[in-house]
Amino acid sequence: MSSNSNADGSIKRSRTVTREFERLYPLPAGYNRADWQIDHVIPLAEGGCDAVRNMQWLPESIKTCADDHCKDRWEREGIYSKIRILALRMLTKLCQNMTNYA
């Protein structure tokens, strides 16, 4: 177990960081807090940091798999790894094309 894990193996999250995010980026007036969750843009399980700069508000339905758009499910299925591979391939191709025009 790493120092970034709780006793049950789950990834540690800082309540202090979450409170700071909520202070700096409060939901606009009229939005119901129960309908929104704080999400890590780059998932902690994928190496993202537990920091304000890596957080965003997401609607409850997307965050918790209440419908077809499920960020957590995509993360668990390794979609981020697949996207990274595709992005690297695209960048490599773009760089190759740019050197052809130099």
State pLDDT tens for residues 54-69. Answer: 898 888 877 766 555 5
Distance between CA atoms of residues 37 and 59, nearest Å: 6
Q: Is 98 exposed, middle or buried (0-12, 13-18, 19+ CB in 10 A)?
A: exposed
Band of pLDDT at residue 102, cut at 50, 70 and 90 = very low
Which amino acid, 26?
Answer: P
| Beta strands 36-40; 55-59: pairing state | antiparallel
> What kind and span of H or E run contains 81?
helix 79-100
pLDDT at 15: 92
Q: What is the pLDDT of residues 30-46, one digit of tens each?
A: 989 998 889 888 888 77
CA distance 9 to 21: 25
Sign for the pseudo-dihedral over CA of 56, 61, 64, 69? negative
